[in-house]
Amino acid sequence: MAGLTRLTRWYGAGPMHLLVLLASFALAGYAVERLVSDRALAVVIWFVGAALAHDLILLPLYSLADLSAQSVLRHRHERARAVNWINYVRVPALLSGLLLLVWFPLVLDLSEPYPGATGLSETVYLGRWLAISGVLFAAAAVCLAVKLRRTGRARRSTSR
């Protein structure tokens, strides 16, 4: 028991955390080994390209979009300022962008003929991505409205 306490104090977390961390490293190592053994140069080029594209293009773009959204909506109603509303925009935008990033050849109709694997033509993907994005933003808007309503009720009850 003293050894477990010493390990927890030295490591900073419990032994289960350490086991899960080691298992995830083993799984990641296996995935890297399988991927790199077939096409090492292609993986390195893809990884460096993805890091450069993220750091030089995507990070400035979504930082600018985030700052723009915050500055445009900064001077809103008092109840809206009481809630950290920006996350209700960030989360659906992130999920929508991630879906577009993964499926952009199909969404933008840039891929080779594709119906063999799915049985669908490429024309359905743009509409479905837009529908999913709309549902994500609508769900976030409903969650924000509920949060604003609760905040308003809490303020009214404390002011009485």
Name the pTM for this structure: 0.62
Q: How far apart are CA 133 and CA 99, in angstroms?
A: 9
Q: How many CB atoms lie within 10 A of CB 107?
A: 20
pLDDT, tens digit, 9 for 90 and up, residues 91-111: 999 999 999 988 888 888 877
Which residue range(s) make up the domain with 145?
77-160
pLDDT, tens digit, 9 for 90 and up, residues 18-63: 899 999 999 999 988 888 888 888 888 988 998 999 899 989 998 8
Mean pLDDT of the chain: 84
Has residue 135 got a pLDDT over 70? yes
Q: What percent of the chain has pLDDT over 70?
A: 84
Has residue 73 got a pLDDT over 80? no
- Is residue 134 a part of any domain in this protein? yes
Instruction: Show the 3-state SS of 36-62.
Output: HHHHHHHHHHHHHHHHHHHHHHHHHHH
DSSP assigned state of 113? P
Give, in degrees to the nearest 5, the angle at Cα 56 between 89 and 96.
Answer: 30
Q: How many Å is the Cα radius of gyration of the chain?
A: 23
Q: How many domains does the chain have?
A: 1
Q: What percent of the chain has pLDDT over 90?
A: 32
- Is residue 103 a part of any domain in this protein? yes
Q: Where do the H-state alpha helices sit in the chain?
A: 2-11, 15-53, 59-72, 78-82, 87-107, 115-118, 124-159
- Helices 124-159 & 87-107, crossing angle to 10 degrees? 180
